[in-house]
């Protein structure tokens, strides 16, 4: 017995005492699963005895168990002392709680043993290793030289300022124009809303020109236009537009003022309001429009002025459209139009009543094939009859529409056609019909190099005679962006007016070089 007691005391030096822990029933396996030995705490002895073949009984319910699963080791495997991991020192036993002293939480002591090879597999699997921050690649921008814009409320503004010099062979574009070197400044503004449902945009520009040498020129021209689109309930949509434009009347205008020194400035105010309704595949639309034209006095070569108030007028029109959606990409339509033009002065200086009525009809098609191709084309007939029976009515076929096409990324083409009735002031003349066609294109050659071009053709037919005007326009330009905010622009332009009226022919060649700053 003495030897046995000596062996037991020696073994107690290497066997740690396991503290009492709260029993969790979920950690127990089924009764038929293999069990690991329990390390039982004996309250009457300071030594924990580990039986070689423990048997689980109902009395074990209140005793903590260490199956080794939490550490990934088997407590029954004997390890040599020189290879065994370090173990924490024995912890003092907690005295059982009594009725007068509530029991505290028996939290397990933190483990200080070495992590075994199986431990990483039981760590939080949601934690993933990532590379260094310097190695994370940011997505490449589609257009690294695009203007960032300026946020303003619910809009994004993109202003730009262009300053340069224009060398031209015909400063005012007239038949008697002379060469000049002009300082040209253009301020542009583009604002787009970022609303979730409706949309609005505002565009505008203003150009100042002033002669530095050669023929004297000093003028200002510009335009601002805004559009508001509203998506209403029950398949209703509403569109409102407003615009204002001010510019000197073109030298190619059909109205010739004798002895003029400079063309009068024309102010135009226009607005429209339209509603659309979808009834299944049927599309109904009604649009009302008003256009106000105001002319300043013309300056004569003698130094005096000539009033142009008799040309001031307002045109009111209404259009009713009916279309049928064959597919989401194709909607043919028919449209009828009626209007009334009212002059501020009932009689012009020649004694003619030039107020008139308009009536027209057209048919066309809307098409939308996504970002690559879309637009609208229409053809019809328009007639304008004057209050004065001595004036012959204007009547002509009309072609109107806009087509956009993007054959490849970075290339945008736009074709626009229009038909306009122009008034007259000469005695007995009713006016003229102007057909216009414009093809514009823009190509992004490189991320910082953009090319643009324009081809224009205008044909004017004077009513009641065989007189006509042909106007050709061609323009090409390049812009090299040094960064997002600054670019160099080179632009060349040619315009030819060829008419069979005496003293109308004119040619203009010009080249522009300047710098553009934008935000």
Say what the pLDDT of residue 396 is.
95
Q: Residue 433, class by beta-carbon neighbours within 10 Å (0-12 exposed, 13-18 middle, 19+ buried)?
A: buried
Same domain, 313 and 174: yes
Say what the pLDDT of residue 83 is.
44
Q: How many domains does the chain have?
A: 2
Say what the pLDDT of residue 105 is.
43
Same domain, 226 and 119: no
**Residue 179 lies in domain:** 157-518
Q: Which residue has the tokens 């008419």?
A: 499
- Domain assignment present for 136: no
- Domain assignment present for 111: yes
In the predicted model, residues of the chain with pLDDT beneath 70 are: 1-142
- Domain assignment present for 382: yes
Question: Residue 462 in contact with residue 256, Cβ under 8 Å?
Answer: no
* Domain final residue pick, 123, 148, 167: 123
Say what the pLDDT of residue 258 is.
84
Same domain, 87 and 210: no
- Domain assignment present for 142: no
347: tokens are 């009689």
Say what the pLDDT of residue 2 is.
53
Same domain, 38 and 108: yes
Q: Enumerate residues 6+ apart whose C-beta is below 8 A from 82.
A: none
Q: Which residues of 34-51 are buried (b: 16+ CB within 10 A; e: fewer)?
A: eebbbbbeeeeeeeeeee
- Domain assignment present for 322: yes
Same domain, 58 and 166: no
Q: For residue 409, what is the domain's CATH number?
A: 2.40.170
**Residues in the chain, how many?**
519
- Domain assignment present for 147: no
Say what the pLDDT of residue 147 is.
85
- Domain assignment present for 422: yes
Say what the pLDDT of residue 24 is.
40
* pTM over 0.75, yes/no: no
Same domain, 99 and 185: no
Look at residue 219 and give its three-state secondary structure.
strand
Q: Enumerate residues 6+ apart whose C-beta is below 8 A from 158.
A: 147, 149, 150, 189, 190, 191, 518, 519
């Amino acid at each position: 017995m003495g030897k046995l007691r000596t062996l037991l005391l020696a073994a107690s030096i290497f066997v740690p005492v396991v503290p009492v822990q709260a029993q969790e029933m979920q950690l127990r396996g089924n009764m038929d699963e293999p069990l690991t030995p329990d390390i039982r705490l004996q309250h009457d002895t300071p030594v924990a005895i580990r039986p070689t073949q423990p048997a689980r009984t109902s009395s074990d319910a209140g005793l903590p168990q260490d199956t080794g699963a939490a550490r990934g080791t088997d407590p029954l495997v004997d390890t040599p002392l020189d290879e065994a991991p370090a173990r924490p020192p024995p912890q003092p036993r907690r005295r059982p709680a009594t009725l007068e002293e509530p029991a505290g939480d028996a939290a397990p002591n933190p483990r200080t043993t070495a992590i075994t090879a199986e431990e990483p597999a039981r760590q939080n699997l949601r934690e993933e290793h990532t590379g260094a921050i310097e190695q994370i690649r940011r997505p490449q921008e589609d257009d690294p030289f695009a203007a960032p814009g300026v946020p303003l409320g619910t809009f994004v503004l993109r202003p730009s300022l262009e300053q340069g010099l224009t060398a031209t062979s015909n400063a005012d574009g007239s038949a008697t124009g002379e060469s000049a070197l002009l300082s040209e400044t253009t301020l542009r503004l583009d604002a787009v809303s970022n609303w979730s449902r409706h949309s609005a945009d505002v565009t505008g520009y203003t150009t100042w020109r002033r002669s530095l040498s050669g023929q004297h020129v000093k003028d200002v021209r510009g335009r601002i236009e805004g559009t508001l689109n509203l998506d209403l309930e029950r398949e209703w949509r509403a569109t409102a537009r407003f615009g204002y434009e001010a510019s000197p009347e073109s030298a190619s205008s059909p109205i010739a003022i004798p002895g003029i020194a400079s063309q009068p400035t024309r102010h135009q105010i226009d607005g429209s309001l339209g509603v659309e309704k979808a009834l299944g595949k049927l599309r109904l639309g009604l649009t009302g429009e008003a256009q106000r034209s105001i002319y300043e006095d013309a300056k004569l070569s003698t130094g005096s002025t000539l009033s142009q108030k008799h040309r001031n007028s307002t045109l009111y029109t209404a259009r009713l459209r009916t279309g049928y959606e064959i597919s989401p990409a194709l909607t043919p339509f028919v449209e009828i139009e009626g209007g009334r033009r009212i002059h501020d002065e009932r009689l012009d200086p020649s004694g003619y009543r030039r107020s008139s009525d308009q009536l027209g009809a057209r048919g066309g098609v809307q098409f939308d094939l996504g970002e690559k191709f879309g637009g609208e084309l229409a053809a019809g007939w328009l007639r304008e009859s004057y209050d004065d029976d001595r004036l012959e009515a204007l009547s002509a076929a009309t072609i109107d529409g806009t087509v956009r096409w993007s054959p490849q990324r970075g290339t945008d083409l736009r074709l626009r056609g229009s038909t306009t009735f122009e008034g007259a002031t000469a005695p007995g003349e009713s006016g003229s019909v102007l057909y216009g066609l414009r093809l514009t294109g823009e190509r992004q050659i490189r991320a910082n190099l953009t090319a643009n071009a324009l081809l224009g053709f205008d044909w004017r037919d004077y009513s009641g005679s065989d007189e006509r005007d042909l106007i050709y326009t061609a323009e090409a330009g390049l812009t090299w962006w040094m960064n997002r905010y600054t670019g160099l622009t080179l632009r060349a332009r040619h315009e030819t007016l060829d008419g069979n009226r005496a003293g109308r022919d004119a040619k203009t060649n010009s080249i522009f070089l300047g710098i553009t700053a934008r935000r």
